[in-house]
Amino acid sequence: MRVRGVPAVVAALLAAPAVTVPAHAAQTKEPLPLERLFDNTAVSDDARPADADFDGSGASLSAQDLAAAGWTPGRELTVQGARLTWPRRQPGEPDNVRADGQTVRVGGRGDALAFLVAGTSGTDVTGTGSVSYRNGSRSTYRITAPDWRTGPLATKAVALPHVNEPTGQLAERTRLYVVTVPLVAEREVASVRLPRAAGLHVFALAVRGSVRGWSGSWGVSTSGFPAVGPWSDRTLRLVVHTSVGGPRVRLRFDNTFAAAPVRIGSATVAVQRAGATPVEAPVPVSFGGAGGAEIPAGAQAFSDPLDFVVPAGANLLVSFHLPELVTAAPVHRLAVQRSYLSEPGDHSADDSATAYPTVLTNWPLLTGVDVTGGPGSVVALGDSITDGDRSTTDANRRWPDVLAARLSEQDLVPRYGVLNQGISGNRVVSDRYPGNGVSTDSAGVSALHRFDRDVLAQTSVRSVIVFEGINDLLAKATGAQVTAGLRELADRAHARGLRVLAATILPCGGRTGCTADVDAERTAVNDWLRSTGRFDGVLDFDAVIRDPALPTRMLPAYDSGDHLHPGDAGLAALARSVDLKLL
């Protein structure tokens, strides 16, 4: 879907709803594994660039660049929760399929089908395919592959620094993308029919497995890729606040936006007593049975399930050792929470705070804590107000924290986990961080560009609350552009079977730049939200916070003092106003 004034969005934006068709309409060709259908060569050795021709003009990807990113032949890559295998082919050998209606043998049950793709037509390539299930039914899907040389960096899985051509190498970025489309719940996949779409290349595809029994308890969005440290042989001890609890835990680390792998040497989890001190000795976690993990550029790593009781509404200490030099890392900048950096050495198992003299005010690399036993999760997608800017440090008074506490204390609806995917400074329709390279801006890629990663790929997500738009308006976007973006987010959530709630935009009168024109556009967006019917519910946060006597401003009791962000009392009022039955 393209909306005037809204950036092009990759992935299957509006995947066609699943439909059941008669068994006699199923494909009659015998499905084959994808690698047996490879008919194009995308990767060349730098010393022999003429051995591959990805796009029909002789250009190709560099095997050396891929290796530097950790994308080596046969390497399993987890992206957006899906396990995909980079083709087990050497440079110069066929390594991808040009999508032309082939039927591919694929198995498994899950919520989505993930494709590792790129286009070679100079623009987005879109096509429609189908999924066949073991019970004889089928569903259709629609997929869009961005171009390998011109597609958005904000949504790529990995970017490489060169293009190989028969006559040499160009210093020009290339991109590969992971795109997901929905599957019919609870049905076992038998095969996938690829679209007929000239220029759409498929390197891998897999069912994103079910996460039944797991709920997201804590989550955070990567807001940029800034310079850090540098860190070498250091341990980070991050403090995170749970929402739902459970008897088992797993951790998620993301190497988002990176150009090179990062190694986690060891990792532990503990309940916090105070500061960097745990209640009991930290418990080691493993990754595929190993003590650590190397995470390729753009990929993620989940720890193995661990028997460890995670209390609801508690602070955890997640410690991990970085044995190798790290000069830049994926980071969530605004933690509103003090974490800790160690002296040299692996101190992940330390049961005291002695080795942790340095305070961190952000969350690097760690993006999720999941627990077993919960009913699923609610995602709060937002900007600095959701991120907790101007709330009390270390007090967990962000409005999603207060919402999580409300959920844990009632029996009217399931006690969902609440995942805070707010980013300070974030916008709906335009990127603050371009999505590649070491960043100086930590306000993230747009909500449209991060929706697949920060909402659809979150653990057992059931519903999403979208609360964004003021930063767009302050940056001179129009209300029409914002509503177009919000409409697209609603449609994409519904295409995946999620409930989606929208929150009205708060007033900012008294803030520099918050002019009468900005307020007029804000009012237009809010009027549209209240009347559109596009969402499953509207949370009228504007009505909760505004001063009845001066509706362009917040009530003084709720204003943090900067006329843009509510303070603790205002954030609590927002959370208390949420009708839990809407979730």
Residues in the chain: 583
Pick 32 or 20 by higher pLDDT: 32
Burial of residue 24 (CB within 10 Å: 0-12, 13-18, 19+) is exposed
| Per-residue pLDDT tens over the stretch 67-92 | 999 999 999 999 999 999 999 999 99
Q: Which of 363, 385, 404 is the last residue of a domain?
A: 363
Asked whether residue 138 falls in the same domain as residue 266, the answer is: no
- Whether residue 6 is contained in a domain is answered as no
- Whether residue 368 is contained in a domain is answered as no
**Is the pLDDT score of 27 beyond 80?**
no
pLDDT band at 12 (very low <50, low <70, confident <90, very high): very low
- Whether residue 4 is contained in a domain is answered as no
Burial of residue 579 (CB within 10 Å: 0-12, 13-18, 19+) is exposed
360 closest CA partner among 308, 420, 320: 320
pLDDT band at 121 (very low <50, low <70, confident <90, very high): very high
- Whether residue 486 is contained in a domain is answered as yes
**Is the pLDDT score of 8 beyond 80?**
no
Asked whether residue 552 falls in the same domain as residue 421, the answer is: yes
pLDDT at residue 1 in the model: 35
- Whether residue 16 is contained in a domain is answered as no
Asked whether residue 380 falls in the same domain as residue 472, the answer is: yes
pLDDT at residue 29 in the model: 75
- Whether residue 136 is contained in a domain is answered as yes
Asked whether residue 384 falls in the same domain as residue 496, the answer is: yes
pLDDT band at 283 (very low <50, low <70, confident <90, very high): very high
Asked whether residue 180 falls in the same domain as residue 120, the answer is: yes
Q: Which of 312, 342, 363 is the last residue of a domain?
A: 363
- Whether residue 402 is contained in a domain is answered as yes
Asked whether residue 344 falls in the same domain as residue 481, the answer is: no
pLDDT band at 211 (very low <50, low <70, confident <90, very high): confident
Determine the average pLDDT of the residues in 127-156: 98
Asked whether residue 154 falls in the same domain as residue 297, the answer is: no
pLDDT at residue 498 in the model: 97
DSSP element (H, E) containing 401: helix 399-408
Asked whether residue 199 falls in the same domain as residue 54, the answer is: yes
* Joined tokens for residue 411: 């029996």
- Whether residue 128 is contained in a domain is answered as yes
pLDDT band at 11 (very low <50, low <70, confident <90, very high): very low
Asked whether residue 342 falls in the same domain as residue 414, the answer is: no
For residue 495, the enclosing domain spans: 375-583
The domain that holds 430 is classified in CATH as 3.40.50.1110
Sign for the CA dihedral angle at 510, 513, 514, 516 comes to positive
**Domain count for the chain:** 3
Q: Which of 181, 209, 237 is the last residue of a domain?
A: 209
**Is the pLDDT score of 19 beyond 90?**
no
Cα distances (Å, whole numbers) of residue 335 to 196, 332, 558: 46, 7, 21
Asked whether residue 92 falls in the same domain as residue 162, the answer is: yes
Cis preceding-peptide flag for 230 (omega within 30 of 0) = yes
Asked whether residue 432 falls in the same domain as residue 528, the answer is: yes
Identify each DSSP E strand in 220-292 by its residue range.
227-231, 234-241, 246-254, 262-264, 266-274, 277-278, 283-284
pLDDT at residue 26 in the model: 37
Question: Do 334 and 387 touch, CB atoms closer than 8 A?
Answer: yes
| Per-residue pLDDT tens over the stretch 496-535 | 999 999 999 999 999 999 999 999 999 999 999 999 999 9
Asked whether residue 42 falls in the same domain as residue 186, the answer is: yes
